[in-house]
A = this chain, B = another copy of it.
């Protein structure tokens, strides 16, 4: 067979040749929309690749991006790797010290920044001597720019060169294409390097019918940001399949997302649960007739939220579970024929769980004490480990080698059970389990139950040190505005549904659960905050 590399130039040229008339719709800061065709996009990608050469960016440089989901970001997604360089997406929500650490760790020569985010980035630029140029994209923001030789205007740069002609060539499919740092809040930055091969295979994985089935007829809205885990791979898959792509632009509000879904007749959308909580009240029955798949990921899908989507809009939320280290797709909660006879409640439960593995992904459950592989019987709990051609073999710079086994699998740090149809239920993060008197209590199970109470907006459960039981659970609860939920209400609700020893010892009420830079519950923060908490009697 021909030795053709699995590489992004194929994806780029395919889109240019087959889907030139298809469109990319983008929201600007003022919520106006712009539309470009793939043909126009491809010409701008060709200009950007030439511009990187003209700027003297090394042929294998890391190019940082500090952008929302925007047309320029989609140009960077292809021009950088198709010209042999590495796309380094920077999380715009990182605290300054972490941002500096990540840019230094990546060794970025150039960073492309949207004007609305410029001040935030420029505040650290003097701590980043390796960054020779800061290219500023005009996103309609009125922010002023200083006079500085390092600053280059993106559109001026593109206009100053002739587009690259002919075909991009990447001969080695294992060449690095992109890099993303994980959202860990402690320790040194951990970078994941994606290859051309892994990116092409992951995209195909999303185009497979039983995954997302991304196709040319789809209108795809990745609300999940392009600065994190490649927006779950959707921009690459959309271009590969020739889908219409909808970009949310800067700081999209729930209403902005709802408007895009309704007006652009979106068929597939993907975001964290918090977004879907906010968007639901902005949409009415009949508003999204073409919507077929709403993926939720990043944290557990509350069943009540998913069912509210189903009953109101006809489409439930489906859990898509993954990790930055896995490009990120690992599993999804899409139903299979085995669930055809199940009740609505049972089906909702399946959709809310991690689900079954994507096409090229392998899973195993390992006993954390003995290292033995555990059966897929729906009972045995063990650490979930992952293998596959789009799963990291190590971190960039070889950080945290303990996350990889001797035989090359990734340790997810999650405790899970797997049933005999290959459906995974995540029990908890290994470090979030409450180890009480020699038994494990799943913080996630408790959170799901608490979030099922009508007046509860969010709930996080953490372990608090305990002199007798080693650890005991504490529920940290955020009430819905105006709701009247008491400590006793929460405990009574759980006592009806759980063995007594699993019921938390106490409940505290917060205005908001602290979040990490990618919107996940920051349980480290909560653990620090409540380390000395004395349980109410």
- Given A209-B209, A209-B215, the answer on whether A362 and B420 have CB atoms closer than 8 Å is no
Residue among A1, A336, A420 with most chain B CB within 10 A: A1
Of A182-190, A294-302, A352-360, which stretch is located at the interface? Answer: A352-360
The residue in A22, A195, A210, A410 that gathers the most chain B C-beta atoms within 10 A of its C-beta is A210
Across-interface contacts of A214 in B (CB, < 8 A): 209
For A4, the chain B residues whose CB sits under 8 A away are: 360, 362, 387-389, 391
Q: Does A254 contact B (CB under 8 A)?
A: no
Stretch at the interface among A13-21, A280-288, A495-503, A521-529: A13-21
Chain B residues contacting A388 (CB-CB under 8 Å) are: 2, 4
C-alpha gap A19/B193 in the complex (Å):
33
Question: Shortest beta-carbon distance, A290 to chain B, in Å?
Answer: 12
Q: Which one, B2, B13, B22, B215, contacts A392 given CB within 8 A?
A: B2
Residues of B within 8 A of A241 (CB): 208-210
A107: interface (CB < 8 Å): no
A422 adjacent to chain B (CB < 8 Å) = yes
Q: Say whether A240 faces chain B, with CB atoms less than 8 Å apart.
A: yes
Binary contact track A374-390/B, C-beta < 8 Å → 1, others 0: 00100000000001111
State the CA gap A466–B431 with chains docked (Å): 85
Q: Write the chain B residue with the least CB distance to A410.
A: B2
**Of A6, A214, A337, A410, which is in contact with the most chain B CB atoms at under 10 Å from its CB?**
A337
For residue A217, CB closer than 8 A to chain B, the reply is yes
A271 on interface, CB distance cutoff 8 Å: no
Docked Cα-Cα span, A410 to B4, in Å, equals 13
- Given the complex of chains A and B, what is the CA–CA distance between A421 and B241 in angstroms? 13
Binding site for B on A (CB under 8 A): 1-4, 6, 10, 13-14, 17-22, 174, 193-195, 197-198, 201, 204-205, 207-210, 213-217, 240-242, 336-338, 356-357, 359-360, 362, 376, 387-393, 408, 410, 420-422
Closest A-B pairs by Cβ, 8 of them? A209-B213, A18-B422, A209-B215, A1-B198, A210-B215, A2-B393, A207-B208, A4-B389
- 28 A-B pairs within 8 Å (CB atoms) are namely A1-B174, A1-B194, A1-B197, A1-B389, A1-B391, A1-B393, A2-B387, A2-B408, A2-B410, A3-B408, A4-B360, A4-B362, A4-B389, A4-B391, A10-B362, A14-B359, A14-B362, A20-B421, A21-B421, A207-B359, A208-B208, A208-B215, A209-B214, A210-B215, A210-B216, A210-B241, A216-B337, A217-B337
